[in-house]
């Protein structure tokens, strides 16, 4: 694959700081419903499922997924709705109560800091901030075009009482603010009971299998070719999909297709992932610690990322990740696609690994270098 060289300006465009996040408190049709009227919606990569024309989007480049966030004070609720594509919740601060079912009574689970939950498509879900006011929930949505959402019937009916309507094209009309309903515009009607009756039901145990709790994560100590080399040493926990692991024995918590994969990457000070590239789009989101990401093999450019900062790494760009802080650091890695992510290691890294007795087999996993076929041994 050809090298993708990233300029300083392009690195700046793809770096999204916590201070760059811009909230919208009128993103959805329930923005005036009591108990749901103080929600903040963020759209960092792609517009997500926002229904507001004024929603600020930090980066509109197609990635194969959308990344945003939801923040709201204690006790505030995001009402019942369903998605056509994957919706993944990543709780990094606070506590949220997730509930599901047509009337929200089918089941509920608590999400705490570090937990990741993947909610199935075509079921109603909602959540409430049961923790402190500064709770924070990142969301990863499947595909570039999500199709929007379907609101629970009661949500639409209550919104009408506050002058809010939704068109069939997923656009919000605010009659209180002076919007009119254009002639011939088709408005969204509440879902008919016959369709609600056909939705699948999920029990609490079944849904819990779709949650990767922070205290139940399974880490690979040697997920990469460079795991035992100086500058390497990062650990990996696969949450959704196999992603970029090169550990033959590592399995993800959640298997079904999402259009993207999600994993936690952890490193002690001075450790990280050595120079490599991949063809899939990638987004790095810092949970804690201080991380330095360097792009390009020649004319390198670097950026340092702190908590909630994120970086969109272009396809085919060489990258090196390093924990440059004083404590253990965690970051979330999101890659596009449902298949495995094959890493292309810098030749110097591959040579050092070979000297240490390690190589990559034809299935893309770390293996003893001496046992690889002669055609795969370059040194």
Phi/psi at 305 (5° precision): -125, 135
Q: What is the β-pairing status of strands 40-45 and 57-59?
A: parallel
What pLDDT score was predicted for residue 118?
98
Q: Please state the separation of Cα 344 from the chain's center in Å.
A: 23
What pLDDT score was predicted for residue 17?
98
Domain boundaries, the chain: 20-212, 218-376
In angstroms, the CA 57 to CA 42 distance is 8
281: which strand partners? none
What pLDDT score was predicted for residue 183?
83
In angstroms, the CA 332 to CA 337 distance is 16
In angstroms, the CA 282 to CA 334 distance is 6
> CATH classification of 218-376, choosing from 2.40.30.10, 2.60.120.10, 3.30.70.3270, 3.30.420.10?
2.60.120.10
What pLDDT score was predicted for residue 55?
92
What pLDDT score was predicted for residue 170?
81
Is the Cβ–Cβ distance between 128 and 79 less than 8 Å? Answer: no
In angstroms, the CA 182 to CA 201 distance is 38
Question: Is 267 strand, coil or helix?
Answer: strand
In angstroms, the CA 216 to CA 239 distance is 11
DSSP per-residue codes, 182-202? -TTPPBPPPPPHHHHTTS---
Exposure b/e, 267-287, CB count within 10 A at least 16 = b: beeebbbbbbbbbbbbbbbbb
Is the Cβ–Cβ distance between 48 and 146 less than 8 Å? Answer: yes
What pLDDT score was predicted for residue 112?
97
Residue with tokens 């770390």: 366
What is the CATH number assigned to the segment(s) 20-212?
2.60.120.10
CA dist 317 to 3, 49, 207, 244, Å?
A: 6, 29, 37, 15
CA dist 151 to 73, 179, 219, 328, 335, Å?
A: 22, 21, 37, 41, 29
326: tokens are: 């004083």
What pLDDT score was predicted for residue 181?
82
What pLDDT score was predicted for residue 29?
84
Selection from 308, 324, 330, 314 nearest residue 17 by Cα: 308
For each of the chain's 379 residues, which pLDDT tens digit applies? 778 999 999 999 999 999 999 998 887 888 888 888 888 999 999 999 998 888 999 999 999 999 999 999 999 999 999 999 999 999 999 999 999 999 999 999 999 999 999 999 999 999 999 999 989 999 999 999 999 999 999 999 999 889 998 888 888 888 888 888 878 889 999 999 999 999 999 999 999 999 999 999 999 999 999 999 999 999 999 999 999 999 999 999 999 999 999 999 999 999 999 999 999 999 999 999 999 999 999 999 999 999 999 999 999 999 999 999 999 999 999 999 999 999 999 999 999 999 999 999 999 999 999 999 998 888 8
Cβ neighbour number for residue 342 with a 10 Å cutoff: 12
C-alpha torsion sign, points 173, 176, 178, 183: positive
77: which strand partners? 128
Alpha helices in the chain (DSSP H): 8-14, 153-160, 193-196, 204-208, 347-355
Question: Is 211 strand, coil or helix?
Answer: strand
Phi/psi at 195 (5° precision): -75, -35
Is the Cβ–Cβ distance between 11 and 295 less than 8 Å? Answer: yes
Q: Do domains 20-212 and 218-376 have the same CATH topology?
A: yes
Region for 316 from its dihedrals, namely left if φ exceeds 0, alpha if ψ lies in -120 to 50, beta otherwise: left
Selection from 25, 4, 104 nearest residue 70 by Cα: 25
In angstroms, the CA 220 to CA 247 distance is 7
CA dist 337 to 63, 262, 265, 282, Å?
A: 10, 10, 18, 10
DSSP category for residue 175: T
């Amino acid at each position: 694959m050809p090298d993708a060289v990233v300029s300083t300006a392009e690195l700046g465009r793809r770096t999204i700081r916590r201070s760059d996040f811009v909230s919208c408190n009128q993103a959805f049709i329930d923005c005036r419903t009591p108990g749901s009227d103080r929600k903040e919606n963020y759209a960092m990569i792609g517009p997500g499922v926002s229904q507001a024309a004024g929603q600020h989007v930090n980066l509109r480049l197609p990635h194969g997924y959308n990344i945003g966030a939801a923040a709201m004070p204690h006790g505030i609720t995001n009402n019942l709705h369903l998605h056509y594509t994957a919706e993944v919740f990543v709780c990094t601060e606070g506590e949220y109560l997730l509930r599901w079912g047509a009337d929200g009574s089918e089941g509920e689970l608590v999400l705490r800091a570090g937990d990741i939950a993947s909610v199935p498509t075509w079921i109603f879900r909602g959540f409430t901030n049961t923790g402190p006011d500064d709770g924070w929930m990142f969301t990863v949505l499947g595909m570039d075009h999500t199709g929007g959402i379907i609101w629970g019937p009661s949500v639409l009916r209550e919104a009408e009482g506050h002058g809010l309507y939704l068109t069939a094209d997923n656009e919000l009309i605010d009659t209180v603010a002076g919007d009119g309903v254009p002639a011939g515009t088709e408005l969204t009607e509440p879902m008919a009971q016959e369709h609600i009756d056909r939705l699948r039901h999920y029990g609490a145990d079944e849904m819990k299998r779709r949650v990767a709790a922070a205290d139940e994560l399974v880490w690979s100590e040697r997920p990469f070719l460079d795991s035992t080399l100086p500058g390497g040493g990062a650990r990996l926990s696969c949450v959704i999909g196999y992603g970029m692991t090169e550990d033959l024995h590592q399995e993800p918590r959640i298997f079904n297709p999402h259009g993207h994969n999600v994993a936690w990457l952890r490193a002690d000070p001075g450790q990280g992932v050595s120079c490599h590239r991949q063809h899939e789009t990638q987004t790095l989101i810092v949970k804690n610690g201080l991380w330095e990401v360097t792009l390009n093999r020649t004319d390198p450019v670097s950026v340092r990322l702190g908590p909630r900062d994120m970086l969109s790494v272009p396809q085919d760009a060489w990258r090196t990740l390093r924990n440059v802080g004083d404590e253990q650091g965690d970051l979330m890695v999101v890659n596009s696609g449902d298949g495995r992510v094959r890493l292309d290691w810098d030749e110097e890294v591959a040579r050092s690994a070979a000297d240490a007795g390690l190589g990559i087999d034809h299935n893309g996993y770390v293996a003893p270098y001496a046992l690889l076929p002669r055609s795969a041994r370059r040194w």
